[in-house]
Amino acid sequence: MPYRFPPELSSEPAVSMPSLRLHRLLLVAALLVPAVVFAAAAAWNRAEVLRDNGETITRTTAILHEHARKVFDTVELVIGRVEDRTHGMSWDEIAAPETSVFLQRLKAPLEQAVSIWITDATGHVRAGSQPWDPNVTIDEREFFQAQRGRDAGTYISAVFQGKATGRASFAVSRRRSSPDGHFDGIIHVALSPEYFSRFFREAAPPGPHAAALIREDGSLLARSPAQVAYSRLGPDNILMRSIAAQSDGGVLFGTSSTDQRERYYAFRHVGAYPVYVAFGIDAAVVLGHWHRNLAVYGGVAALSALILWLVSWLALRRAQAEQEALIQLRHESEQRHAAEQRLLQAQKMESIGQLTGGIAHDFNNLLAVILGNLDLLRKRIKDEDRARRLLEGAIQGAQRGAALTQRLLAFSRRQDLTPQAVDVPQLVAGMTDLLARALGPSIEIVTRFPAGLPPVKVDPNQLEMALLNLAVNARDAMPASGTITISAHAEEVAGGNGHGLQPGAYVCVSVSDTGMGMDAATLARAIEPFFTTKGVGKGTGLGLSMIHGLAVQSGGTLTLISQVGKGTTAEIWLPQGEAVTEASAGDQQAPPEHRTCTVLLVEDDPLVMTGTAATLDDLGHTVVEASSAEAALRVLRENTSIDLVVTDHAMPGMTGLELAERIRAEWPSMPILLASGHAELPERAGLALPRLTKPFRRDELEHAIASLVTPACEPANVVPFRKP
């Protein structure tokens, strides 16, 4: 009996849905609120870190600026003292040793100075704080050329390698003029870039940074870190662009064009001198502080969220327990009900199949009587043409009835299923009448087969039922009218094909309709067992899955192609079979040699007994009749002249197979022919009986007997009985 919900399961849950929603909201809030607080704290801390960093780089830049300004002011004072000392002196007086000693005393306390020099208008040094080569000239130096061309005031040069000192330096120079205003040499102080770099390192906060003393044209005078592969910043450098836009100083963030690193920068113009100091901290360092703070904030937020979530979860679990149990019970009950419905449908179809098989078996017996008597009657009507035509019509009708019973047995899965080479066009032509009756007059059937189509290797009855099933499905998809096209084509399938087939030669048999088609969701599930779009009681959902199983077991596959409003095409891919040659077909139809035997006929149906006995008598055999297996055993024991036993299978008391076992036990060499309308017979160890399917014709019975005995009615090929 189908399961039904008890009344209490149909009532409202003990815990109301609004209450559960409130608990779920609290559960979400337990995660969301700490997350929002964390995000707000992270944003605030980022702003604080950036503000502190801005103060740091601004303060550091101010220190660097103050130091650089004092250095250049000191150099100005030194140059002024040299000018005062040498004012009005001739070059001979300047070249006296006392002047160089004076310059040495000036340079001694100046750590930033490398050397101090006085040079005449030709570029030769006349006095200096260091020893020098009198023959060496500096007229090619940038700072000398700049002062010779014009009075450049206090001029700061780019970095160069000193000829006398051999050290990297940059010069702060001032022009000397004669009383008439002409160029009369320069006074310059060479400063040490390394001194500035060292001070930059000492003044900078810990961590990666960049500090520089830059001339206004981008030339680097000093830098920390000092190891760089460039000596000038291009005009596209972010720092030089900012200097051009804000000549006094400013703060910026950007990516350096020299080393491609993101930094926060601050820069300032050094007094009235054409130089700038700049200081920058890597963005990774600044954001690293922020990330460490985020880790702390995140830990606090995660711990808070975990505690809140656990409390909310415990409250929710208590509220959900009863409702989840009810929902689970309801779900299981629905599944059980659906399974019961599928089982009832399957049982119904199994019952129909069993009933169909039984009816078909009874019809086989009746048709065996009809065909046997008509065959005998055919021999006795020779001269009356009209009577022969009527007789042939009756025989054809009986044969069509026999074909119908074979289809019924195939439907009930009680027919012997044997793969063989099948001519598809011939098979479809043979079932055209059946299709026309099954589909009705509103459906047009079109067949398209190319010439020379190779046969397929499949059980013909299964393929016939598969095509009939597909045609009926196509008819159901065209409720008003339409066209069903049955076609086929041969194709050589390579490896890696989209059908999942093994490489080889195949024949694709397709059934297409002009119906409503299927959407993607339905198409994806169409082959699933028990899936159907038909109403309750109108389909089991097993048709396509059975066809798919047939195709796969035969070495092929089933594919469906469909689109809503454009119909459906079902393709059965089957391996090609070997064609039956005319010679072999002729050999099978060769008439048997005439022989006369004593046949024991075992049959419980009197009509079948009479018809079969008459056919055997017409073939010239002597017939001994037995209506049961027990009677047959008595005859065999009493009559030693029996050459052959022809027995039915479905008999009361003892079946044909059980009788065969008894016969083989006592008479091992006795030929036995099993004639039955049943195909699915139980296996018997040690038995290999030839079989003749009811209803059979006179010539089929004659060939079956000829295969068992020789013309002298001796056993032709007997498999000895072996007990298990």
Task: Average the pLDDT over 603-617 and give the result.
Answer: 86
pLDDT of 717 higher than 60: no
Q: Which residues pair with 645 in a beta bridge?
A: 600, 672
pLDDT of residue 345: 60
Interval 161-176 mean pLDDT = 91
Q: pLDDT value at position 348?
A: 63
Residue 453, classified by CB atoms within 10 Å of its CB into exposed (0-12), middle (13-18) or buried (19+), is middle
pLDDT one-digit tens code per residue, 538-556: 555 556 767 777 788 788 8
Is residue 394 pLDDT above 50, yes or no? yes
Q: Place 12 in a pLDDT band, splitting at 50, 70 and 90.
A: very low
Average pLDDT over residues 126-132: 92
Q: Which residues contact 174 (CB under 8 A, 6 or more apart)?
A: 79, 83, 147, 153, 154, 155, 186, 187, 188
Q: Which sign, positive or negative, has the C-alpha torsion 141, 142, 144, 148? A: positive
Residue 685 pLDDT grade (very low, low, confident, very high; cuts 50, 70, 90): very low
pLDDT for the residue 318: 79
Residue 133 has pLDDT above 60, yes or no: yes
**What is the identity of the amino acid at 137?**
T
* Beta-strand relationship, 183-191 and 113-119: antiparallel
What's the mean pLDDT in 217-241?
Answer: 82
pLDDT score of 715: 74
Under a CB-based contact definition with an 8 Å cutoff, are residues 510 and 562 in contact? Answer: no
| Nearest residue to 374 via CA among 400, 399, 407 | 399
Task: Give the pLDDT confidence score for residue 11 in this predicted structure.
Answer: 43
Q: What is the 3-state secondary structure (H, E, C) of 481-503?
A: CEEEEEEEEEEEECCCCCCCCCC
For residue 227, with 0-12 CB atoms within 10 Å meaning exposed, 13-18 middle and 19 or more buried, which class applies? Answer: exposed
What's the token pair of residue 111? 């750590």
Q: What angle do CA 696, 700, 706 make, to 5 degrees?
A: 140
Output 640 or 257, whichever has higher pLDDT.
Answer: 640
User: With 70 as the cut, is the pLDDT of residue 575 above it?
Assistant: yes
Q: Does position 6 have pLDDT exceeding 50, yes or no?
A: no
**Average of per-residue pLDDT across 8-32:** 67
Instruction: State the pLDDT at residue 417.
Output: 52
Among the residues of 539-628, which ranges form H helices? Answer: 543-553, 582-588, 606-618
Q: What is the mean pLDDT of residues 216-228?
A: 84
Alpha-carbon distance of 606 to 164, in angstroms, equals 141
Tell me which residue has tokens 């009235």. Answer: 272
| C-alpha to C-alpha distance for 643 and 691, rounded to whole angstroms | 17
CA distance 219 to 235: 11
Residue 102 CA from chain centroid, whole number = 88
**Structure-model confidence comparison of residues 325 and 264, the more confident one:** 264
Ranges assigned E (strand) in 527-597: 557-562, 568-575
How do residues 489-534 score in pLDDT, each as one tens digit? 998 888 767 677 888 889 999 999 988 888 887 777 777 665 666 6
Strand, helix or coil for residue 2: coil
Segment among 214-228, 286-300, 545-559 with least mean pLDDT: 545-559
How many H helices and E strands in the chain?
A: 18, 23
Instruction: Give 608's pLDDT tier (boundaries 50, 70, 90).
Output: confident
pLDDT (tens digit per residue) in 80-92: 999 999 988 999 9
Instruction: For residue 148, give both structure tokens.
Output: 């010779």
Hunting for tokens 């702003």 — which residue is that? 47
The confidence score (pLDDT) of residue 117 equals 94
Of 32 and 228, which is predicted with more confidence? 32
Helix (H, G, I), strand (E, B) or coil at 624: strand
Strands (E), 216-274: 220-224, 249-255, 262-269
- Tokens 């065969």 correspond to 660
The kind and range of the H/E element at 420 are strand 420-422
List phi, psi (to 5°) of 565: 85, -5
Contact 367, 696 (CB under 8 A): no
**How high is the pLDDT of residue 91?**
92
Start-to-end Cα distance in the chain: 44
Quick check: 169 pLDDT over 80? yes
Q: Quote the percentage of the chain above a pLDDT of 90.
A: 25
User: Edge to edge, what strands does the sheet with 504-513 contain?
Assistant: 443-448, 482-493, 504-513, 568-575, 557-562
- Residue with more model confidence, 367 or 30: 30
**The pLDDT of residue 405:** 65
Give yes or no for residue 236 having a pLDDT over 90: no
- The arithmetic mean of pLDDT across residues 176-180, rounded, is 88
Q: Are 103 and 118 in contact (CB under 8 A)?
A: yes
Is the alpha carbon torsion for 98, 102, 105, 110 positive or negative? Answer: negative
H-helix or E-strand spanning residue 411: helix 385-411
- Exposed, middle or buried, 256 (CB in 10 Å: 0-12/13-18/19+)? middle
- Cβ atoms of 94 and 86 within 8 Å: the answer is yes
Tokens of 259: 């080393």
Tell me the C-alpha distance between 151 and 519, whole Å. Answer: 91
Q: What is the pLDDT of residue 358?
A: 60
C-alpha 413/C-alpha 137 separation (Å) is 117
What does DSSP say about strands 125-128 and 209-215: parallel, antiparallel, or unpaired? unpaired
Chain segment 195-215, per-residue pLDDT in tens:
999 999 999 888 888 899 999
Q: Residue 300: pLDDT band by 50, 70, 90 thresholds?
A: confident
The Cα-based distances of 368 to 400, 589, 611, 691, 701 in angstroms read: 13, 21, 8, 15, 11
Average pLDDT, the chain: 81
Q: How far apart are CA 558 and CA 544, in angstroms?
A: 9
> What pLDDT does residue 582 have?
46
Confidence at residue 121, expressed as pLDDT on a 0 to 100 scale: 92
- Check residue 522 and give its pLDDT: 79
Looking at residue 118, its pLDDT comes to 95
- In this model, does residue 42 exceed pLDDT 80? yes
Nearest to 474 by CA among 443, 513, 510, 520: 513
